Structure 1
Amino acid sequence: MPVETTKVQEQEKHSQQPTAFTLRSIAFSHYNEKARWGLDYYKVPYIEYRSLPICHMISMFKYKAKARPPGPGASVFVTPHLTVEHNSNNDSKEKEKETIILNDSKKILEFLSDQYAAPANSNGKSSAPPNLYSNDEASKAKIQALEERFNTMIGPHVRRVVYYEVLLHSPRSVARSLGQHDNAGKLQSWIWSLFLPIFVWMLCKAMHVNETSAARSRDVLKREFEHLSRVLESGPPGPAYLVGNQFTAADLTLASLGGLAVGVTNEDGYGAWVPSIQDMARPEGRKFMEELRATTAGQHIMECYKLHRGHKVPGSGYGFSFFGLW
């Protein structure tokens, strides 16, 4: 039985040169987790250069965006930043290098789906994973609408709530741990630990993290999780997904952006070390996360990690600069 090939497999078959992927990330960022998940889902080998907040401005100086993205706390030093290099041989046997740069998790996921998903007419004959955006236009529109909603209504509010609990109300040892556990090179880890009070002040100011904003974000997340729980509970019998009867970019986006709010850790599949619910010092903070986790939407996130997160494939690894220290 013939096996259908993806677009990239066809390109590499003719060029005899592999496509190289380099991901530059803030290790514990949930938007970066979304990009990592997409790469792992499609079994794409890549090298990840990890940074910590503030330190990432040095790491990303060469790769900074031309314009500041919208949103609170956004800067030209945006991550995730994916570089795709494809070497090809033309008729004159001279090597040509095509470079694609993507610095938005949504665009990265769309690109990977376009290049690596099973073809629409494969009818199960392809070894590639199913398209995260579906091959049906109506379903694709629903998936993209949910993805945009989660990028707006889940991502920023999860970050604010988690920063409020970890940076402002948990022991300094928890915040320092964000720079350890292979989340960055040794020099970055040392800088993060040494200047942590200054970095905390800078991050909270840039992200508008305070008691009032955190309370507002908790309210938004509570309403969103209640709404999503009703959506999941109203679906047909069997495994519940947000669109149709299979795992899509909508589920991946919810799980990656909402995972930190329900206590997902690297033991559950998160692609970097992050604090657990037990690491939160405030009883109110732990209770809020436990309540979100207990909802149908929270359990859906945990199930997505269990069934679909996957791991880095052979050929993947971590990159370092400055003599392996950064």
Structure 2
Amino acid sequence: MTATLITIPFSHYCEKARWALDRCGVRYEEDGHLPLFHYIANRRARAGRTVPVVRDGDTLLTDSSDIVAWADAKKPGTLLPTGAARAEALALEDDFDRQLGPATRRWAYFHLLPRTDLDHIITRGAPRWEQIALKLTRPIAVAALKRGLKIDRAGADRSRAKIDETYARVADILSDGRRYLTGDRFTIADLTFASLSSPILVPREHPFGLPMPDEFSPEARDRIEAWRATPAGAFGLRIYADHRTP
């Protein structure tokens, strides 16, 4: 049986789950939807309000970290190391999920939601009827997202500070010359950092096809280029280049 992965295609938490499934060789079909419209698919799957969701027979997974663990169990050791490195990798995954992910999402939404000229990117992979519905209801949908995720200038500035703080900590971890966050091999810690950084690093290898830096406003473009130039940003881009294969 082929699993179903319910997503908002451009969501970085969905990219985390998608990447883990790909890395572990799990067969799945992606069921992509636009924000808010995904509630319908979730209800059919008897899931909650968030994505990603994996449905595989009687198995229902509604959290990206649970999806990672489930995928790794099918090919043990692919993403979750053993021994002390396992605890370290899981701690970093949890930290990035709680701190980095919300910050990069809010910052990116703040700069992208006003840009109707980029809707063709945001709507990619969603059903045609949802794309049409978004055009008709865009102001309402955008207002709901801004309210729900506290997307405003103050929130974007707080998120930028949170990103800078996380990137400084990652740079400190990497300062001893290691190639990966927990040592000498690729783990869920590296995958989580790279995927949750994707909204602000916009790597070319991202399977969804994110907007490139020159498509952002000058203010946002300068900040993206600055993040890309940091040790942590360069690390995230390398992880995509080296490990994100179709």
TM-score category (smaller protein): over 0.9
Q: TM-score, normalised by structure 1?
A: 0.72
- Which amino acid in the other structure matches residue 131 of structure 1? T
2:52 to 74, 80, 95: 80
Within a 5 Å distance, the mapping from 1:138-149 to structure 2 comes to: 138-149=84-95
Displacement of 1:115 in angstroms is 1.8
How large is the RMSD of aligned CA atoms in angstroms? 1.4
Match of 2:119 in 1: 175
Assess if the C-alpha contact under 8 Å between 2:24 and 2:78 holds in 1.
no
Q: Which structure would you say has the larger Rg?
A: 1
Assess if the C-alpha contact under 8 Å between 1:22 and 1:82 holds in 2.
yes
Displacement of 1:230 in angstroms is 2.0
**Distance in 2 separating the partners of 1:308 and 1:147:** 17
Match of 2:183 in 1: 244
1:291 to 226, 230, 241: 226
Match of 1:158 in 2: 104
Within a 5 Å distance, the mapping from 1:93-112 to structure 2 comes to: 99-112=58-71
Partner of 1:187, secondary structure, is: helix
Match of 1:32 in 2: 14
Displacement of 1:269 in angstroms is 2.3
Flag structure 1 segments of 5+ consecutive residues without an equivalent. 1-18, 66-75, 86-98, 118-129, 312-326
**Distance in 2 separating the partners of 1:164 and 1:276:** 16
Deviations 1:45-83 (A, max 9, x none): 211110000111222222243xxxxxxxxxx32111101
**Distance in 1 separating the partners of 2:170 and 2:28:** 33
Partner of 2:113, secondary structure, is: helix
Assess if the C-alpha contact under 8 Å between 2:9 and 2:32 holds in 1.
yes
Displacement of 1:285 in angstroms is 1.4
Displacement of 1:135 in angstroms is 2.1
Q: State which drifts further: 153-162 or 188-197.
A: 188-197
- Does the alignment pair 1:255 with 2:194? yes
Deviations 1:67-120 (A, max 9, x none): xxxxxxxxx3211110123xxxxxxxxxxxxx2111100000011112223xxx
**Distance in 2 separating the partners of 1:230 and 1:203:** 34
**Distance in 1 separating the partners of 2:113 and 2:235:** 27
Deviations 1:148-171 (A, max 9, x none): 100011100000000000013xx3
Displacement of 1:23 in angstroms is 0.6
**Distance in 1 separating the partners of 2:209 and 2:127:** 14
Count of aligned pairs between the two proteins: 246
**Distance in 1 separating the partners of 2:98 and 2:49:** 20
**Distance in 1 separating the partners of 2:40 and 2:71:** 27
- Does the alignment pair 1:309 with 2:240? no
**Distance in 1 separating the partners of 2:228 and 2:123:** 26
- Which amino acid in the other structure matches residue 112 of structure 1? A
Query: Going by fraction, where is helix more abundant, 1 or 2?
Result: 2
**Distance in 1 separating the partners of 2:72 and 2:121:** 34
**Distance in 2 separating the partners of 1:249 and 1:112:** 11
Assess if the C-alpha contact under 8 Å between 2:53 and 2:63 holds in 1.
yes
